Amino acid sequence: MSINKLGFIGLGLIGGSIAKTTKRIHPDIEILALSGHQSTIDKAFEEGLIKNNKNPSLMEFSDCDYIFLCTPVQQNQGYLQQLKQIMKPGCILTDVGSVKGDIHREILSMDMEHCFIGGHPMTGSEKTGLSHASPYLLENAYYIITPAKFVPKERVEEFCQFVSSLGAIPLTMEYDLHDKSTAAVSHLPHVLAYALVNLVKDSDNKEEIMKRIAAGGFKDITRIASSSPVMWEEICISNREMLLSMIDTYEIYLKNIRDKISSRDGLGIREFFQSAKDYRDSLALAPKGVPGTAYELYLDLVDEAGGIATISTILARNQLSIKNIGIIHNREFEEGVLKIEMYDKTSYSDAIQLLRQYNYTVYER
């Protein structure tokens, strides 16, 4: 793998984190960046992250080995025509968008399928900007890769190796499978969370009794409704067809359970719930006990030998028992690499305080 120069168009949370991780692991790789805010360029230059102290012209990206498109989806597509004119032979163009169909179709229409590899790092948070970017954000996170049709196989393998070198886990798939999968496991849940919150808001009385008694279950299932409405507006429109298909399918499932409840079909209701429970319990880190409050904390963890063992030892020496522990690979809307579940509220609070004393960055839920 021989990479000398990377170009970033957009240097926010994801682009900035990829750049910072690259600088940490491959300090000899030169990084050039363009941003909509001069203050971002100033900060990145002062940190020694990029070589330019002002916004470059696109022509200055002409000798890059990889160019990362890290702006919103529609803005990314707006750069394609200009980049096509200046990219050197062999340069690979990639992006970090959470929806792949639109840009792949644009790449096809512009006859750029030989040099585009779509990318989607499954990590991030509701926070934005370079100031929240981290050189460890990619650690053990899935990084979905969607190569265009005519990209040479060896270039795809090279890009996968580069992603792996940054600590992420590359997963290669067709872009339509990516959009269908994310519509089901990410985009639809957000739509449902927003809808449920609005339902409760509009159904509540003047005294806001529903809001007052909203318990863990409601808060857990609707937590993601606190995500950026602007971001989710764009995602819903960009992945419109796949998302609408999943909404239609969900309505069928909802009608199914509604009919069972309406007809007092106890066995049918139980089987419907049992099927879902069995699948949910098979997911990584899925709690298998009686439903209740989950005392979960998340923390940043560098991928190094003994990292989890060290944390376990710290907690055990202080008589704090761990209920569940594991790496979070899909952190697109989560903070922290490691998830730890404690048995009770006291242990949860003590664990947070203790780990922070050892200088771990801990995120509470």
Per-residue pLDDT tens digits of the chain, which is 365 residues long: 589 999 999 999 999 999 999 999 999 999 999 998 999 999 999 999 999 999 999 999 999 999 999 987 778 888 999 999 999 999 999 999 989 999 999 999 999 999 999 999 998 766 778 988 989 889 888 999 999 999 999 999 999 999 999 999 999 999 999 999 999 999 999 999 999 999 999 999 999 999 888 876 787 788 888 877 877 888 899 899 999 999 999 999 999 999 999 999 999 999 999 999 888 877 754 443 334 456 888 888 776 777 888 898 999 889 998 888 877 766 555 666 788 888 888 989 999 999 999 988 888 76
Determine the pLDDT at residue 224: 82
Q: Give me 244's structure tokens.
A: 């609408």
Sheet holding 295-299: strands in order across?
322-327, 338-342, 295-299, 362-364
> What torsion do the CA atoms of 254, 259, 265, 270 make, to the nearest 10 degrees?
0
Q: Report whether 301 contacts 363 (CB < 8 A).
A: no
Tell me, what's the pLDDT at 336? 67
In which order are the strands placed within the sheet that holds 30-34? Answer: 30-34, 5-9, 66-69, 92-95, 116-121, 142-147, 169-172
Give all domains of the chain, ordered by start, each with its CATH number.
Answer: 5-173 (3.40.50.720), 178-281 (1.10.3660.10), 295-364 (3.30.70.260)
What is this structure's pTM? Answer: 0.74
Cα–Cα distance for residue pair 53/45, rounded to 1 Å: 6
Give the other-Cβ count within 10 Å of 268's Cβ: 15
What pLDDT is attached to residue 291? 40
β-strand pairing of 116-121 with 142-147? antiparallel
- C-beta of residue 85 within 8 angstroms of C-beta of residue 103: no
